[in-house]
Amino acid sequence: MLRPTPEEVLKSISWTFDNEIRTKPADPLAVSYSLTVSNMIRHVLLCMQREEGLIVIDTAELRAVLAQAQGFLAGKGNDEMAAKRIEDALAVKPASDAPSQRARENWRALRWAVEDAIKVLRGIRDRFAKDSDYLAVRKAIRDYLDRSLNRESELIREAFTIARR
């Protein structure tokens, strides 16, 4: 769900361990790095345990928000490229093989489509600032982002509350 991916985090942990901790373990900076590595390992573990379920919830919410944005943009005849990106993102259904990876890829495509929708909506704000449908789409996106950040914060808070630098 988060960027960087668990794979990217593990590569970074490995590099930090090999290049910054193992080579000079008593150095104060190496001690600090080791605490961070410990936190990051806990974070990756939490992601492995919970991310798939959180992505399912987040993806369902993304689809609803994007469908609402797509309906508004289609009705107002605005940015065709953003509407097409939303349409393409909504059309993707992850395959059953490698479900976690595919679900994460699908989630990212949907998040990019939300980013496009936000840009387009921001660009037409002056024309539609008092339009109730426009305001509803903007609110739906903000509400989704708040809920998504709360889900992500669960993974971060638990991983980084034990050891501190």
Q: Tally the domains of the chain.
A: 1
Convert the pLDDT of each residue in 91-144 to its tens digit.
887 665 556 777 888 888 899 899 989 999 999 999 999 999 999 999 999 999
Model pTM score:
0.73
Amino acid letter, residue 124: I
70 in any annotated domain = yes
Domain that holds residue 116: 6-159
Convert the pLDDT of each residue in 78-96 to its tens digit.
667 777 888 888 888 766 5
164 in any annotated domain = no
147 in any annotated domain = yes
Q: How many CB atoms lie within 10 A of CB 108?
A: 15
Instruction: Name residues whose C-beta falls within 8 Å of residue 6's C-beta, 6 or more positions apart in sequence.
Output: 44, 47, 48, 51
165 in any annotated domain = no
Q: Torsion over CA of 5, 67, 86 and 99, rounded to 10 degrees?
A: 40
% of the chain at pLDDT higher than 70: 90
CA 91 to chain centre: 19
Residue 95: what pLDDT? 64
Up-side HSE of residue 161: CA atoms within 13 Å toward CB?
6
